[in-house]
Structure formats: structure tokens, C-alpha cells
């Protein structure tokens, strides 16, 4: 088995393990965050691939979609759920910005390493800083949506 398939298996195992650490009282928040993130990544991921900016040479369901099912529909939404569940609401703005920067930087670093050393992703008209900005922006949008959603639910 190629290293790419082992990485995909490890991503599924890690993302599933993260789900087990979500507190029971925040499962609704996690579900809303993950589903909303899937909506965002469906649109953005499909657009980026169809515009020829990225390519996923090795992926699940290659005859169905040219995007990475593993990343766009499972791993990234699970990480977004964790991001929202453990977001430091009542902390300083500096800590909140650090939280965004930390999550975004780790995901960007992992993607750059995967792009450099495997065939799971190939940058065509793309750079690491575009990934960083798009991930950070998607976290921000999902955070706004979750705040709006649960503000309406609690009203």
C-alpha cells in the first residue's frame, strides 16, 4: 500500500478520535459547525478544483468528484467542530486571534508537507498563503454562523 493511502487511513482515525473528545453538552455545536463547514468546503473546494488551482491525484471516489472527500467532507469539518467547541469565548482578543492563527497555521503546515512529499494534493495555481487565508476565513465564517445560529436558538 502506498504512503498516501496510509495517510488517508490515519486522517480518518485521527478525525474520528477527535469526535470522541467532544463534550456531550457541546455535541449540537459540533454538529452545526461540521455541517456548515461541509457546506463551505463543498462550494469552495469544488470551485478551486474546477478552476484548475489545485489537483488531488490520489483520492477516494475519483469517479465521483475531483475534490478530496477525506479533507473537504470529513477531516476539515471535524477539525472545525473541535475549533468551535473549544473556542476561548470569554478570553482576551489576543488569545482568540492566537487560537485562529494556531489552528490555521497547523493545518497549513500539514497541507504544505503533504503537497511537498506526497501525491495527495498538487498546487497548480496555488500557494501556502492562499491556504492559510482561506482556512482562517472559513473558520471565521463558521464561527459567525454558529454564534448566529445559537443566538437565535436561545432567543
Report pTM. Answer: 0.92
User: How do residues 103-116 score in pLDDT, each as one tens digit?
Assistant: 999 999 999 999 99
User: How do residues 12-33 score in pLDDT, each as one tens digit?
Assistant: 999 999 999 999 999 999 999 9
Residues 67/12, Cβ–Cβ less than 8 Å: no
- Total length of the chain: 155
Q: Which of 68, 84, 57, 60 is nearest to 131 (CA)?
A: 68
Per-residue three-class SS string for 89-154: CCCCHHHHHHHHHHHHHHHHHHHHHHHHHCCCCEECCCCHHHHHHHHHHHHHHHHHHHHHHHHHHH
Amino acid at each position: 500500500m502506498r504512503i498516501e493511502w496510509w495517510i488517508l487511513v490515519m486522517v480518518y482515525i485521527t478525525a474520528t478520535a477527535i469526535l470522541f473528545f467532544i463534550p456531550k453538552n457541546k455535541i449540537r455545536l459540533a454538529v452545526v459547525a461540521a455541517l456548515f463547514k461541509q457546506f463551505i468546503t463543498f462550494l469552495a473546494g469544488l470551485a478551486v478544483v474546477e478552476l484548475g488551482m489545485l489537483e488531488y491525484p490520489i483520492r477516494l471516489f475519483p469517479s465521483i468528484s475531483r475534490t478530496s472527500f477525506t479533507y473537504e467532507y470529513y477531516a476539515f469539518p471535524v477539525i472545525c467542530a473541535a475549533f468551535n467547541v473549544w473556542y476561548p469565548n470569554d478570553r482576551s482578543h489576543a488569545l482568540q486571534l492566537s487560537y485562529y492563527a494556531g489552528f490555521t497555521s497547523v493545518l497549513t503546515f500539514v497541507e504544505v508537507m503533504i503537497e511537498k512529499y506526497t501525491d495527495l494534493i498538487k498546487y497548480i495555481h496555488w500557494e501556502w498563503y492562499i491556504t492559510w487565508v482561506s482556512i482562517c476565513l472559513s473558520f471565521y465564517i463558521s464561527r459567525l454562523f454558529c454564534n448566529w445560529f445559537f443566538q437565535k436558538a436561545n432567543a
